[in-house]
């Protein structure tokens, strides 16, 4: 149960990154109102989003995921996806826990340039919580 709550919080932080960049969330894991995303190939993803007509895949990597033997194969597969009819590249957003951020960054540097350009890496930590949900009264220091 606790592991599911941590994963849900990580997905929330990744969704915040999508929103910050203007993406509309289409489906997400462990959400209340949106449907679960379908598997991409044989891999399970956490978020599917869209910016105008440009799709994106979101994936959170925790301790268990970082130690997978097929991690680089999975990242390479997801980063090289294209849309079915328009053949546009699908952006891959990777949210990584702070403990493994540097390790993943080094692993991604070993990928080909065209694959690496299609990946955005994010450090998932609590300081990224958006101020979007705070009211104006909560953000003011002095009320006149």
The pLDDT value recorded for residue 137 is 44
Two tokens, residue 79: 């980063």
Is 40 inside a domain boundary? yes
- Give me the domain span that covers residue 26: 2-139
- Element containing residue 8 per DSSP (H, E): helix 2-20
* Ranges of the chain whose pLDDT falls below 50: 128-140, 144
Domain count, the chain: 1
The pLDDT value recorded for residue 40 is 83
Q: Which residues contact 82 (CB under 8 A, 6 or more apart)?
A: 88, 89, 90
Is 31 inside a domain boundary? yes
Is 108 inside a domain boundary? yes
DSSP assignment of 68-134 = -TTHHHHHHHHHT-B-TTT-PBPEEEEEE-GGGHHHHHHHHTTS-HHHHTTEEEEE--GGG--STTS
Is 52 inside a domain boundary? yes
CATH of the domain at 65: 3.40.1350
The pLDDT value recorded for residue 86 is 85
pLDDT digits (tens, 9 = 90+) for 46-75: 899 998 888 899 998 888 888 888 888 999
pTM for the whole thing?
0.78
Task: Measure the CA–CA gap between 17 and 35, rounded to whole angstroms.
Answer: 19
The pLDDT value recorded for residue 127 is 54
Residue 133: CB atoms within 10 Å: 8
- The strand order across the sheet containing 54-61 reads 24-28, 47-51, 54-61, 91-96, 119-123
The pLDDT value recorded for residue 134 is 45
Is 144 inside a domain boundary? no
């Amino acid at each position: 149960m606790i592991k599911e709550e941590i994963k849900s919080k990580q997905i929330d932080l990744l969704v915040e990154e999508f929103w910050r960049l203007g993406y509309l969330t289409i489906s997400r894991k462990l959400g209340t109102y949106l449907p679960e995303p379908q598997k991409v190939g044989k891999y399970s993803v956490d978020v599917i989003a869209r910016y105008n007509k440009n799709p994106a895949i979101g994936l959170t990597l925790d301790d268990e995921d970082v130690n997978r033997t097929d991690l680089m194969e999975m990242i390479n597969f997801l980063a090289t996806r294209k849309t079915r009819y328009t053949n546009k590249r699908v952006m891959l957003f990777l949210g990584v826990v702070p403990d493994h951020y540097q390790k993943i960054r080094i692993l991604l540097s070993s990928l080909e340039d065209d694959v690496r350009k299609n990946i955005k890496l994010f450090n998932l930590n609590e300081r990224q919580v958006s101020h979007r949900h705070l009211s104006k009264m909560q953000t003011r220091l002095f009320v006149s």
